[in-house]
Structure 1
Amino acid sequence: MMMKLSSNDEADVNLTTDEEAAKLPTHKLEDDVVDWDGLDDPNNPLNWSGTKSFGHVVIVAVLSMVVNIASTIVAPAMEGVSRDLEITNMTLATLAVSIYLLGFAFGPLVISSLSEMYGRLIVYHTSNFIFVIFVVACAVSKTSAQFMVFRFITGCAGAAPLSLGGGTIADVIPIEKRGAAAALFGLGPLLGPVLGPVIGGFVAEGKGWRWTFWVVAILGVAAGIGTFIFMRETHPNTLLERKAASLRRATGNPHLRSKLDRGLTQQQIIVAALIRPTKLLIFSPIVLVLSIYVALIFGLLYLLFATFSMVFEGQYGFSTGISGLAYLGLGLGELLGLFTFGILSDRLLKRKMAADNVQESKPEYRLVVMMWFPPVIGPGLFIYGWSAYYQIHWIVPIVGTFIVGFGAFFVIMPSQLYLVDLFGSEAAASALGANILLRSLFGAFLPLAGSHMYSTLNYGWGNTLLGFLALVFAPVPILFYRYGEWLRNRTTVTL
């Protein structure tokens, strides 16, 4: 797949003065092109120590976890929110939770262009600051309109680690070691929405719904402090541009430019960042189909989140706090998926490379585990739906959600890693932006249909329908594993 792309990653260049810049090796300067100083340049984030690289993955994973906890932490307390803010419509109450995901959908369109212009690190810092401010605004909202607007802005700012995280991993982790790093990063979008209601249920029961947002604000401040202390720039474009600027001042040569400089104006960068995800969805069949599959599963998860209170409080008589624990079935399934993926992913990749006698990994190798486990999502939904309908012991529907969570991990995580490997550090943000755009839209709007669907079809047939939809997409990774390389070699997307 041919691309003209830019990435959203940052790196830590230890050049602070023009004098230091003047001492740099200049083997590329005869062409007026500034590049890394060889394959082992310590300023290249791919050459950082394992501890430093993994530390950056942990920071991004924590940021991702916090913003995803915020997406659902208020869900068990919506009765109190509706009462205090005079929300009388059930659909509107659901939207008050899911509108946050609309921010996840549209925030990356702005965030990616800002990171390309100014680097990743400043965008992480600024976005987290805005996130905390508007989380606090949600906590002190007086009207439903204020609450909705503040939730949307919070989601836009919270999208930063989701849209930039994949590129950051590509910046600091070599391709053959990305499986474990990507699995850790993937915990945020999957486990965060599960932990949110568990925390929120008890907080709301003991302190009221407003305190659910104060808890998120505290977590956001703590994550922001860790980011400020430990995180450094990883974006190759930004790092080489800083190096080129130092050399221009030191040598007096105004023609020096970064090897990765595409010569775009800020306006062109903004326009490109806004349209790239859409162009990928339109012109790349791989991105489109995978994004629809991920979006469907993501939407199903959020639809389940929206029904847990109805099922476990209405059907089984759980209290608000205890009903939050019902989300742990999904979470434990996702944790098992994490450990399984972490063990298998990179090992399978190396085994496939050896079997095919190739020195470089193919992106399609990431799809092997995606072929094996996602088909269990359908049976998991069948178990959840029919056991809830017949009010079988509460552990049975939770077992069903455990199976769903396990299978869902192997849809969302391998697909993201596949896109990162396929498009590389420079284009990962655009590919993931397209993926996040669709999945967030599905996550925002699919739950709105939940109450009507279940009132029409009941929990049994409603979840049976969802289970069959999940099974329809199960062959997708098999097809891309077999024909993905052929397809991308015949697809040209110029961005």
Structure 2
Amino acid sequence: MDKPRHTPDGSMSTIVVNDSSSPDERDIEKQADASGPSSRPVPEERDVEKQADADELTTDAQLNKQLFPVTDLDRGIVGWEGQDDPNNPQNFAPNKKWGLLGLISAFTLISPLASSMFAPAVPYMAADFRETNETILSFTVSVFLLGYTFGPCLLAPLSEIYGRRVVLSSANWFFVVWQIGCALAQNIETEIICRFFAGIGGAGCITLGAGVIADLFPVEQRGKATAIWGLGPLMGPVIGPIAGGFIGQNAGWRWAFWVLLIAGGVLAAAIEVLNRETCAPVLIRWKVEKMAKETGRTDLCSAYDYQSGKEDSGPVPVEQALKLGLLRPLLLLGKSAIILLLATYMAFVYGLLYLFFTTISTVFTSHYGFSTGLSGLAYLGIGMGFVVGLAFMAFTNDRMLVKATAKNGGKFEPEMRLPLMIVFSSILPISFFWYGWTVEKHVHWIVPIIGMFPFGVAMMGVYMPIQTYVIDCYPKYAASANAALTASRSLVGALLPLAGPRMFETLGLGWGNSLLGFLALAFVPVPIFFTRYGKTIRERWPVNLEGKKA
């Protein structure tokens, strides 16, 4: 007969139990029992029959297990529906991926634009506020980068806990609102405070872009994606002085902030409407909450939080996750030697960039007689270098990675991103000697502008491999890894330029820039060290970012 039973998925199946003896056979068996012991079946035969029955049941149970295996969901673990799950950001259509990245990258132009757009208009503000202290005036510009120092350490961990979309939107609107305070400030102190908080909000797109790239793109596409996203943070400080010079001269310094308010508000609204969540752990956590509500199960757990075979298996409490998340960028800087070294080198190069910026406007107005508006055009030399360097990295970085991986037997290593840095670090010092001595000797204005071009190209060749390297090393926590880089370089970019005017006043433009060139020359061996020993350093000092015992 057929006996029904429930399977793990709740459907009915049957276990077939053989009972094939006919009524006549059963009667003969009874008669044999009545006729005496000699006609009865021997005990061994009954045992064999029972054993056969048991074997049949065992075989059926094994078959049932094969047909209805225990799934992760049966154990309460929730993940993607499969490798091709369309809800997984890695499986988004290419146009959707690049569209989301382009949306975020657009705001990465507006935010860095605010860092330098105000610079050419500072003399007009100084006249309004009757401020003559050059250090205070310089700090009014660079304090925005101080906001970039604190913002990433807060925003990156929050995005890994609550999602990229809500944190990015909040940061964007925070940036926009503080432009109103900057535009309406009635004294220098208010201006500095508003610029600082605007910098914290502006750090959102600069920080979270790395996380979005890790969310959306496989390793072999991250070089190109990082190049597109990195265009804004480097072109913004170049375009800013050009636009700010003309705005400050013709409309007044306050209009620099009104323009930022309008442009930032439009893009923030577009991101609010069109952006999608891309952080996989957050998406799965939402899925867990939805399934728990629909099924009434309280044992469900995200696959990203689950640790199989460990005593502390299960999701991390929210308080613990928040505490660990906020500490993660500091953990990377303090315990990952390779992140600390790369952050230091990037901060050094970034500091050279902003020291470069401190003299350009003054040199072209005083030495070459440019107006405030036209002096911003001098930044085009370094800006064109950025574009060329970025295009080169976009087309070569991923290709070199694929070839290096193939040569390594198909095994990918993040350090494969770094060899190009060796060539570009050698180009960095050229611009300081070229630019410094041509302006010192009052050579035609086009010559120092062209002299800035090599630095722009070289900075891209150093900046992009480091940026992509940390994404490859820590894809799940790419935002926090990028926050460590952003915070350190922004701190140097905010404070080092304050010493620029005094240094150039003491040494002159020729020897002052030559000093920077010699420093850049001394750092040329650093990328060689990273390329040769980066893997050893990374593996020698690993960092536990999960907050769970190994």
Shorter-chain TM band: over 0.9
Equivalent position amino acid for 1:333 in 2? G
Alignment match, 2:513: 463
Alignment match, 1:163: 207
Whole-angstrom distance in 2 between the partners of 1:231 and 1:27: 34
Ranges in structure 2 where 5+ consecutive residues have no aligned partner = 1-69, 306-313, 546-550
Ranges in structure 1 where 5+ consecutive residues have no aligned partner = 1-25
Q: Which of 279, 284, 308 in structure 2 is aligned with 1:240?
A: 284
Q: Which of 451, 470, 481 in structure 1 is aligned with 2:531?
A: 481
Whole-angstrom distance in 2 between the partners of 1:411 and 1:486: 21
Q: Which of 291, 294, 297 in structure 1 is aligned with 2:343?
A: 291
Alignment match, 1:354: 406
Alignment match, 1:63: 107
Whole-angstrom distance in 2 between the partners of 1:329 and 1:27: 60
1:54-85 Cα offsets, whole Å, 9 max, x none, are 11111121111110001000111110111112
1:306-325 Cα offsets, whole Å, 9 max, x none, are 21111111111110000010
Q: Which of 475, 485, 492 in structure 2 is aligned with 1:442?
A: 492
Give 1:132 deviation, angstroms.
0.6
Q: Secondary structure at the match of 1:461?
A: helix
Give 1:27 deviation, angstroms.
4.0
1:164-215 Cα offsets, whole Å, 9 max, x none, are 1101011011111111110011112211110111111111111011111111
Whole-angstrom distance in 2 between the partners of 1:254 and 1:475: 56
Q: Which of 93, 106, 119 in structure 2 is aligned with 1:49?
A: 93
Q: TM-score w.r.t. structure 2 length?
A: 0.83
1:98-147 Cα offsets, whole Å, 9 max, x none, are 00001000011221233233211011111111111101210111111110
1:352-380 Cα offsets, whole Å, 9 max, x none, are 1222221x421111112222212211011
Asked if residue 190 in structure 1 is aligned to residue 190 in structure 2, the reply is no
Whole-angstrom distance in 2 between the partners of 1:87 and 1:205: 18
Matches within 5 A, 1:176-187: 176-187=220-231
Whole-angstrom distance in 2 between the partners of 1:62 and 1:83: 34
Q: Secondary structure at the match of 1:434?
A: helix
Q: Secondary structure at the match of 2:145?
A: helix
Whole-angstrom distance in 2 between the partners of 1:430 and 1:126: 18
Alignment match, 1:421: 472
Whole-angstrom distance in 2 between the partners of 1:199 and 1:27: 60
Alignment match, 2:167: 123
Equivalent position amino acid for 1:193 in 2? P
Equivalent position amino acid for 2:272 in 1? F
Kept in 2, the 8 Å contact 1:74–1:209? The answer is yes
Asked if residue 271 in structure 1 is aligned to residue 301 in structure 2, the reply is no
Give 1:328 deviation, angstroms.
0.8
Asked if residue 401 in structure 1 is aligned to residue 445 in structure 2, the reply is no
Whole-angstrom distance in 2 between the partners of 1:348 and 1:114: 34
Bigger drift between 257-266 and 205-214 goes to: 257-266
Equivalent position amino acid for 2:510 in 1? G
Give 1:489 deviation, angstroms.
1.8
Whole-angstrom distance in 2 between the partners of 1:282 and 1:463: 32
Kept in 2, the 8 Å contact 1:110–1:270? The answer is no
Give 1:222 deviation, angstroms.
1.9
Kept in 1, the 8 Å contact 2:160–2:477? The answer is no
Q: Secondary structure at the match of 1:42?
A: coil
1:289-335 Cα offsets, whole Å, 9 max, x none, are 11111111111111222211111111111100000101111110000
Q: Secondary structure at the match of 2:444?
A: coil
Asked if residue 210 in structure 1 is aligned to residue 254 in structure 2, the reply is yes
Alignment match, 1:144: 188
Kept in 1, the 8 Å contact 2:215–2:278? The answer is yes
Structure 1's 104 and 49: CA in aligned 2 closer, same or farther, altered over 3 A?
same
Kept in 2, the 8 Å contact 1:367–1:415? The answer is yes
Runs of 4+ in 1 over 4 A off after TM superposition: none
1:445-472 Cα offsets, whole Å, 9 max, x none, are 0110000000111111111111122222
Whole-angstrom distance in 2 between the partners of 1:114 and 1:127: 11
Q: Secondary structure at the match of 1:281?
A: helix
Kept in 1, the 8 Å contact 2:161–2:325? The answer is no
Kept in 1, the 8 Å contact 2:106–2:232? The answer is yes
Equivalent position amino acid for 2:430 in 1? P
RMSD: 1.5
Whole-angstrom distance in 1 between the partners of 2:384 and 2:228: 15
Q: Secondary structure at the match of 2:452?
A: helix
Matches within 5 A, 1:24-39: 27-39=71-83
Equivalent position amino acid for 2:480 in 1? S
Whole-angstrom distance in 2 between the partners of 1:326 and 1:319: 11
Alignment match, 2:35: none
Kept in 2, the 8 Å contact 1:103–1:152? The answer is yes
Whole-angstrom distance in 1 between the partners of 2:109 and 2:318: 31
Q: Which of 155, 164, 180 in structure 2 is aligned with 1:111?
A: 155
Whole-angstrom distance in 2 between the partners of 1:475 and 1:191: 27
Give 1:267 deviation, angstroms.
3.4
Bigger drift between 124-133 and 105-114 goes to: 105-114
Matches within 5 A, 1:248-397: 248-261=292-305, 263-358=315-410, 360-397=411-448
Whole-angstrom distance in 2 between the partners of 1:38 and 1:95: 53
Kept in 2, the 8 Å contact 1:86–1:144? The answer is no
Q: Which of 432, 454, 478 in structure 1 is aligned with 2:504?
A: 454
Kindly indicate whether structure 1 or structure 2 has the higher relative contact order, using CA contacts under 8 Å at least 6 residues apart: 1
* Count of matched residue positions in the alignment of Structure 1 and Structure 2: 469
Kept in 2, the 8 Å contact 1:109–1:273? The answer is no
Q: TM-score w.r.t. structure 1 length?
A: 0.92
Kept in 1, the 8 Å contact 2:302–2:315? The answer is no
Bigger drift between 380-389 and 91-100 goes to: 380-389
Kept in 1, the 8 Å contact 2:121–2:248? The answer is yes
Matches within 5 A, 1:81-100: 81-100=125-144
Equivalent position amino acid for 1:247 in 2? M
Percent of pairs identical after alignment? Answer: 43
Whole-angstrom distance in 1 between the partners of 2:220 and 2:161: 29
Equivalent position amino acid for 1:297 in 2? V
Whole-angstrom distance in 2 between the partners of 1:246 and 1:172: 23
Whole-angstrom distance in 1 between the partners of 2:330 and 2:517: 28
Equivalent position amino acid for 1:464 in 2? S
Whole-angstrom distance in 2 between the partners of 1:266 and 1:474: 45
Q: Secondary structure at the match of 1:233?
A: coil
Kept in 2, the 8 Å contact 1:132–1:221? The answer is yes
Whole-angstrom distance in 1 between the partners of 2:81 and 2:524: 46
